Structure 1
Amino acid sequence: MIDFNQPDRYTLSIRLSTDGFSFAIHPDEGGEDVLFRTFHVNPQHSMAANVKEFLAETDTLKHAFRQTNILIHTSRYTPVPFELYEDDQTELLFYQNLPKQNNEIILCNILSKSNIAILFSIDKLTHQLLSDHFPKARFFASISPTIEYLTLRSRKNGNSRAEVFAILHQKSLDLLAFKNQKPVLANSFKASNMNDKCYYLLNLWKQLNLDQQQDVLYVSDGMQQKKQEDFLKRFIKNISFINSQTEPTPYRYPSDIPFDMLSLDLCE
C-alpha cells in the first residue's frame, strides 16, 4: 500500500508511448508491491496534448516523490560509442543517423555499464510540460535502461554464445544483440503483428550470422508464448521468455509491466 502522506519515500516512473501512457510507484525499500497504472491516449491528438491531459487528470502525479523518471518509448534514438561522444556534437551525431524533425530537442543518456551514449529526441512542448510539472525529473529513452540491464544480465550469465533479446510492444519491436557479453546491436522497428516481428527477428539472426542451434533468443512478452515459441523453434533452437516474473526483482511487479520500466529499476 502506497502511503501518499510520505511521497518522499517513493520513486515515480512514467512511461510515454503512442500505444498509451503508464506509471509505476515503488518504495525505497524492496519486498513491497509496485503500484502500476495505465492511461489511454487519443491517437488523434499530439503527444503534448495527451501529456497535458494525463497530468491534469491523474491526481497521483501531483505528489512530490523522492525521484521521478520519465521514459520516452521511441524509435528516434541512435547509439554512439562513448569514446566517440562529445557533448557539443549531440545534435550533429543524432542527425547524421536520423532525419530532422521540427520542434524537437535531442537528449542524451550515458550508459556507464554498456559504455554507450544513447541520443534520442523528444517533442519540445512535451519536454516543457513535463519539466514544469517535474522540475527534477530524469529523462530516458526507453531503450536505455533495457540495454543497460541486459548488458549486466549478459555478463552475469557469462554466456559464450551470442544472445538476442526481442522486446515486444503493442506496435513495435526492440531487438538487442550481445556477443561476448557486450552489446553489438540495438534497433527498433514498427510492427503491429507477430508475423512482421518474427520477420525482423529472423532477418537479424541471418544478418549477424548467428547459430540456429547454439545461440540464444530471449523474448520479453509472455502473451501467446506457446504460439510464438512453436513458430520460432522451427528456426531457432534455444528460446526463453523473460518478464517481471522471471527476473530477480527487488519489488513485486505486475506481470504486464513494460520490460523497459522493469529494467530501469534493475539496472539502478
Structure 2
Amino acid sequence: MNDLVFVDSTFDKNKSKEYILSIRVSSDGFSFSILDATNTCIALERFKEFKQSSGADSSDSFKELIRNSELLNLSFKKVFVLWVSNQSVLIPNQFFSNEFVFESYQLCHTLTQEDELHWNNIKALDSWNVFAVPIRFKDILVKQFTVVEFFHHSTPFYASAIKEEISDKHPNVYVNLQKEFFHIIIPDRNGKHFINSFAYREDCDLAYYILNVYKQQKLNNERSRLIIDGLVQDECKVIQLLKKYLAKLEVRLLPSKLRIKDEIPTKEYNQFINLLKLSECE
C-alpha cells in the first residue's frame, strides 16, 4: 500500500476548481483524495507519515509536505478535512447549543487552549458529532486552502451504518478499525443505538472488547453480523480470531461506485473508506 499513488488519466489541473479535495489528517500523518464533479475519485495519495514525533514538529512536517505537493497547491471547489482521533462526543439535537458543546466535551475529554472544537450534524442520528482539532493543524489548513470544512473521521462511518437495514431481533454490529482504537455502533430501530469507542494495543484486546459488547448487549454470536471496515483485511489476525467465536463476520470493502481502478484490489482501499465517503456527508 505504501507504493500506491493514483492519479487518473482524466485528471486536469486546469479544472481543479471543479474538484473536491478530502484530506485525512491524524497526529502522525495524512493522506488525501480528489473527487471530480461526479464524485469519482481521480486522485488518491498514500499515507505520509510526519517526520517528527513531537506535536510541534509534526505540524511543521505537515506544513512542509503540503508545500512540496503539487496537487495540494491547486485551487479546489471544496476542501474537506477528516480529523482522526478517538475523542468525540455525540450530542442529541434537542440538547445542542454552543455552551452545552463545551461543557459536554470537557466532561468526557480534555480540551486545552491548543485545541479548537468543531462539530458535524449527523441527520440520521439526530445528533451532532463534537470533536477537537489542534489549532496548529487547523491554521495550516486554513492558510493553505482558506475555506475548509472539518469532519471527525467517525462521522461518515456512523452516517453510513445508520442508513442500512436494521433488524429487530439480531442487529448488525459495525466496527471502524483504526490504529490503536476503534469505533462501534449497533443501530436500533427505536433510536436507542449503542455507540462507543475503545482503545486497544493487541489483536486479543480488540477481539475481547468486541466480544464483550456482544455479551453486554445480549447479542447472538450465531445471528448478529459483525461488519468491520477501516484498517483491516480478510487475512489479518484479528479477523481469524473473531471467526472462532462469531458465525457471521464481514470485512466491508469500498463501495463499487467509489472503485478507482479494477486492477488494484479493492481491499487495498479499506483504510480510505471514510475518506472516500466524506463527500456524502455534506
TM-score range, shorter chain: 0.7 to 0.9
Q: 1:70 aligns with which of 68, 81, 102?
A: 81
Q: For residue 204 of structure 2, what is the aligned residue in structure 1?
A: 195
Check 1:136–1:165 CA distance in 2 against 1; reply closer, same or farther (3 A cut): same
Q: 2:66 aligns with which of 51, 55, 70?
A: 55
Q: For residue 218 of structure 1, what is the aligned residue in structure 2?
A: 227
- Cα shift at 1:128: 1.5
Q: C-alpha deviations, 1:173-193, integer Å up to 9, x for none?
A: 222221228572333333343
Q: C-alpha deviations, 1:2-42, integer Å up to 9, x for none?
A: 11111012110000113421000111125564433321213
Q: For residue 260 of structure 2, what is the aligned residue in structure 1?
A: 252
Once superposed, what is the RMSD of the aligned Cα atoms?
2.3
Structure 2 CA distance for aligned equivalents of residues 260 and 191 of structure 1: 20
Q: Is the 8 A contact 2:177 2:232 kept in 1?
A: no
Aligned-partner residue type, residue 261 of structure 1: L
Structure 2 CA distance for aligned equivalents of residues 165 and 11 of structure 1: 27
- Cα shift at 1:54: 2.5
Q: For residue 101 of structure 2, what is the aligned residue in structure 1?
A: 90
Aligned-partner residue type, residue 273 of structure 2: F
Q: Is the 8 A contact 1:145 1:267 kept in 2?
A: yes
Q: Is the 8 A contact 1:162 1:180 kept in 2?
A: no
Check 1:223–1:126 CA distance in 2 against 1; reply closer, same or farther (3 A cut): same
Q: For residue 251 of structure 2, what is the aligned residue in structure 1?
A: 241
Q: For 1:119-134, list aligned pairs within 5 A.
A: 119-134=130-145
What is the TM-score with the length of structure 2 in the denominator?
Answer: 0.84
- Cα shift at 1:206: 1.9
1:117 aligned onto 2:125: no
1:264 aligned onto 2:262: no
Q: C-alpha deviations, 1:191-220, integer Å up to 9, x for none?
A: 343222112211222222222122111011
Q: For 1:11-30, list aligned pairs within 5 A.
A: 11-30=20-39
- Cα shift at 1:264: 1.4
Structure 2: state its 5+ residue gaps.
Answer: 1-8
What is the TM-score with the length of structure 1 in the denominator?
Answer: 0.88
Q: C-alpha deviations, 1:132-162, integer Å up to 9, x for none?
A: 212111001111111112212x2xx343331
Which secondary structure state, in structure 1, belongs to the residue aligned with residue 195 of structure 2?
strand
Structure 1 CA distance for aligned equivalents of residues 121 and 195 of structure 2: 15
Structure 2 CA distance for aligned equivalents of residues 140 and 123 of structure 1: 13
- Cα shift at 1:94: 1.0
Structure 1 CA distance for aligned equivalents of residues 213 and 225 of structure 2: 13
Structure 1 CA distance for aligned equivalents of residues 132 and 125 of structure 2: 20
Q: For residue 17 of structure 2, what is the aligned residue in structure 1?
A: 8
Q: State the number of aligned residues.
A: 263
Q: Is the 8 A contact 1:24 1:37 kept in 2?
A: no
Check 1:225–1:55 CA distance in 2 against 1; reply closer, same or farther (3 A cut): same
Aligned-residue sequence identity (percent) comes to 19
After alignment, is 179-188 or 68-77 more displaced? 179-188
Structure 1 CA distance for aligned equivalents of residues 52 and 41 of structure 2: 34
Structure 2 CA distance for aligned equivalents of residues 38 and 226 of structure 1: 20
- Cα shift at 1:91: 0.9
Aligned-partner residue type, residue 236 of structure 1: L
Which secondary structure state, in structure 1, belongs to the residue aligned with residue 257 of structure 2?
coil
Q: 1:42 aligns with which of 28, 32, 51?
A: 51
